[in-house]
Amino acid sequence: MSLARSGGSAWQALWMVLASFLFATMAVGVKSASHSFTTFEIIFYRGLVSVIFMAVVVRARGASLRTPVPMMHLTRSGVGVLSLGSWFYAIAHLPLATALTLNYMSGVWVAAFILGGALLYGQAQKQGALMGTVMLGFVGVVMTLRPTIDHDQLFAGLIGLLSGIGAALAYMQVTALGKAGEPEERTVFYFSVGTAVVGAVGMAFTDMTPWSEVSPHDAAWLIPIGVLAALGQWCMTRAYRKGATLVVASMQYFGIVFASVYSLLLFGDQIAPLGWAGIAVILASGVLSTALRARALPDTPAEEH
């Protein structure tokens, strides 16, 4: 593998760092909005704003919304919306640190899925080092967040775990869409449509919050949540479409670093020495994964060669 190629892969992985920053910012808004809105309401407004935003982007870039692989988009949207709804529910019903930890297990699940494929093709040994960096990053996540869960939060914990599995499946589907030649903005647009539809259906079967009971502060987050989500999905889609899958999976843990900084600056939370050590481990895992990429085989059959 050439130096230029490995360097390009590293730059593509940095899109996941930017996506992690955007998603961490969105999580702050979701936590606030959940005080006034139900999970389905947040999903709907997030999807609606993202659809409008991405429609403008697609038009501005002169792209088309016509797709040759509608079923792939349907599968990606279905799995992605399931993961998103599970994550929003977990954020609303669990300590933020616990909800984030369960969702960020998606990197571990991605590594597990790739390990299964590597075993099938007899390449598991050559994938081991990169998989180790994904596991190392998750250790850093646990060290930083120190998640806790009460006995009466077990159901919410299971939902949070489901969000991580669903996210991993969605990431793998994004990689497949990239191989099929689908542009990032089209993938994000159809995912946003699926999000809005599922949110609307959910709202039809649950109680809606009267606007008279909505806090203006919470309502003010609805548009930023949608825009941040769309931009985050756009960057994440580009990362998984063009970058090395396991390297990108390691980079997504940077979201915990950004979330920790938000907790420190916005909410006055203190980061314990173990937390700072965990942040260092996360950063180290990202650096190691990038360095090891130069000696690794391609991660998935869906990755560009």
Residue with tokens 């899958």: 245
DSSP state of 294: T
DSSP state of 148: -
Tokens found for residue 56? 């403008």
Count of C-beta atoms within a 10 Å radius of residue 274: 12
Query: For a pLDDT cut of 90, what percent of the chain falls above it?
Result: 21
pLDDT value, residue 127: 61
Task: Identify the top-confidence range among 116-120, 223-227, 277-281.
Answer: 223-227
Q: Are 239 and 12 in contact (CB under 8 A)?
A: yes
Alpha helices of the chain — where are they, by DSSP H? 3-33, 39-60, 70-93, 96-103, 106-121, 124-145, 154-179, 184-204, 216-219, 222-242, 245-251, 254-266, 273-293
pLDDT value, residue 305: 35
Q: Is the dihedral of CA 202, 203, 209, 212 positive or negative?
A: positive
pLDDT for 11 beyond 80: no
pLDDT digits (tens, 9 = 90+) for 153-176: 888 889 988 998 998 888 888 888
Q: What distances in angstroms separate CA 204 from CA 40, 52, 192, 201, one per listed residue?
A: 9, 21, 18, 5
Higher per-residue confidence, 284 vs 242 = 284
What are the sequence ranges of the domains in the chain? Answer: 3-293
The pLDDT mean for the chain works out to: 82
Segment 199-206 long-range contacts (CB within 8 Å, at least 24 positions apart) = 199/40, 199/41, 199/42, 199/43, 199/44, 199/45, 199/46, 199/47, 199/48, 200/44, 202/39, 202/40, 202/43, 202/44, 202/85, 203/38, 203/40, 203/41, 203/44, 206/38, 206/40
Tokens found for residue 13? 């992985």
pLDDT digits (tens, 9 = 90+) for 183-193: 889 999 999 99
Residue with tokens 């919050």: 209
Tokens found for residue 177? 């869409």
pLDDT digits (tens, 9 = 90+) for 18-48: 999 998 899 889 888 988 998 889 989 999 9
pLDDT value, residue 180: 86
Residue 22: closest CA among 169, 243, 183, 225 = 225
Instruction: Report pTM.
Output: 0.81
